Amino acid sequence: MTMIKTKDLHKKYELGKGNHVHALRGVDMDIDKGEMVAIMGPSGSGKSTAMHLIGCLDKPDSGEVYIDGNRVDNQYNGTLTRIRSREIGFIFQGFNLIPTMTAVENVALAAEYAGASKRDAHDAAKKAIEQVGLKDRMYHRPSELSGGQQQRVAIARAIVNKPGVILGDEPTGDLDTATSHEIMDMMRDINITTGTTFVLVTHNPEVAEACDRTIRMRDGEVIDDGRESKPESRDLDDELMEVGG
């Protein structure tokens, strides 16, 4: 079943009077429930713009975006805020943690934004922190955590509301190779055990290799959706070995 569908997405940005750039030129994507998909392309290919539209962070000039069968590009801002807080999780390259809050407080804040009470949000945050292996670090602030640990907190924040979709913008971009492998192992495990759909924008071919398939973009268009080269079946142990090198 399809989790994410885009139809003929167009988006341009005005750089000045009479000057604009076409970020997307008729992008069609279909991503199945439970897939882990990478989006790759050179700078300016439109991959980040596509992710922003899928994540309801922006609206297309034309075209349609569907999440789990529901059209979202034509919704009001209040509805889009609810979708972002409850149905989509975000993982960013720079972690985007609040420095004055502990790990568990950062994660709980996402649950509160989604409507949970403080007590329920804290309980959910503790479970999410434990799920990413940071039980003994949940009361540390970001400055007391390594880059890999901060990204684990960011992953906990992304999964705390049990969204159907998690979007990652260069989620391993600020990490060394070994830590990048650990983070990919963790995301892959979450993907498989929970059935959550992952879409990762990346320049890293090792990240793309760990995914089910890679959508390649250039000049605002999809030039390869990766379906023809997608293996019919893959063994989890083999996938994790590939990620680990």
pLDDT of residue 138: 96
Specify the pairing of strand 70-71 against strand 36-40: unpaired
Q: Are residues 134 and 179 in the same domain?
A: no
Q: How many residues does the chain have?
A: 245
Q: Are residues 37 and 134 in the same domain?
A: no
214 domain residue, yes or no? yes
pLDDT of residue 240: 42
Range of the domain at 156: 98-162
Q: Are residues 83 and 180 in the same domain?
A: yes
Only one residue has tokens 């034509």, namely 74
Q: Are residues 109 and 40 in the same domain?
A: no
111 domain residue, yes or no? yes
For residues 212 and 201, give the distance between their C-alpha atoms in angstroms, rounded to a whole number. Answer: 14
27 domain residue, yes or no? yes
Q: Are residues 123 and 17 in the same domain?
A: no
Q: Are residues 187 and 222 in the same domain?
A: yes
179 domain residue, yes or no? yes
For residues 178 and 172, give the distance between their C-alpha atoms in angstroms, rounded to a whole number. Answer: 10
Q: In this prediction, what percent of the chain has a pLDDT beyond 70?
A: 93
Q: DSSP of 30-92, one letter per residue?
A: EEETT-EEEEE--TTSSHHHHHHHHTTSS--SEEEEEETTEE-TTS-HHHHHHHHHHTEEEEE
Q: List the beta bridge partners of residue 168.
A: 91, 200
Q: Are residues 20 and 47 in the same domain?
A: yes
Final residue of a structural domain among 137, 162, 187: 162
pLDDT of residue 229: 52
Alpha helices in 132-167 (DSSP H): 147-159
Q: State yes or no: pLDDT of 239 exceeds 80.
A: no
pLDDT of residue 9: 97
Final residue of a structural domain among 118, 140, 162: 162
The vertex-57 CA angle with 45 and 129, nearest 5°, equals: 105
Q: Are residues 209 and 173 in the same domain?
A: yes
DSSP code, position 142? G
Q: Are residues 74 and 189 in the same domain?
A: yes
Q: Are residues 117 and 233 in the same domain?
A: no
Only one residue has tokens 């945050």, namely 125
Strand, helix or coil for residue 27 = strand
93 domain residue, yes or no? no
Q: Specify the pTM.
A: 0.88
Contacts of 121 (CB under 8 A, 6+ apart): 108, 109, 111, 112, 160
Q: Are residues 83 and 169 in the same domain?
A: yes
Q: State yes or no: pLDDT of 238 exceeds 60.
A: no
CATH of the domain at 206: 3.40.50.300
Specify the pairing of strand 2-16 against strand 221-224: unpaired
Q: State yes or no: pLDDT of 36 exceeds 80.
A: yes
Final residue of a structural domain among 162, 189, 205: 162
180 domain residue, yes or no? yes
State the chain's mean pLDDT as an integer.
91
Q: How do residues 82-139 score in pLDDT, each as one tens digit?
A: 999 999 999 988 889 999 999 999 999 999 999 999 999 999 999 999 999 999 999 9
For residues 185-203, give the mean pLDDT. Answer: 96
Work out how many domains the chain is built from and give that number.
Answer: 2
pLDDT of residue 107: 97
29 domain residue, yes or no? yes
